[in-house]
Amino acid sequence: MATVDVLKKLDGFIAAALVDSSSGMMLESIVVGNFPIEVAAAANTQVVQAKLKAMDAIDLGDDHIEDILITLGSQYHLIRPLASNREIFIYVALERSRANLAMARIDLKKLEGSIKRI
């Protein structure tokens, strides 16, 4: 299985985790500094669950979430559910002033593609 450690090379990297949205549990994580990754990962399970529920409610059929971007004043938070299991997602927090959002999305997509099945 691929690991979120590869994301620490992203410009502006703060933290990353692989998270089970059905339980809120982190499967793995990496943090630079004192970012509360456990709290952020658990809270973002509600974001993923809400979007999945909304998609089901409006009957989007076989469509899927590619990624979710949350833009804060000083940070970007990216969430990318796995294609192989929409309940599992990759979460990354980046310092907005230093991040390259396009590259972060590309790297998240690569990582997601390398995780075969959980």
Can you name the CATH fold of 4-114? Beta-Lactamase (3.30.450)
Instruction: Tell me the pLDDT of the chain averaged across its residues.
Output: 91
Dist. CA 65–CA 6, nearest whole Å: 22
**Among 1-10, 21-30, 39-48, 97-106, the least confident range:** 1-10
Q: Assign 118 a pLDDT band (cuts: 50, 70, 90).
A: low
pLDDT for 1 beyond 70: no
Per the structure block, which two tokens stand in for 101? 């959002």
Joined together, the tokens standing for residue 55 give: 């998609």
For tokens 């943090």, name the residue. 31
pLDDT at site 72: 96
| pLDDT per residue as tens digits for the range 69-108 | 999 999 999 999 998 888 899 999 999 999 999 999 999 9
Region 50-62: mean pLDDT is 86
If one compares 60 and 15, the residue with the highest pLDDT of the two is: 15
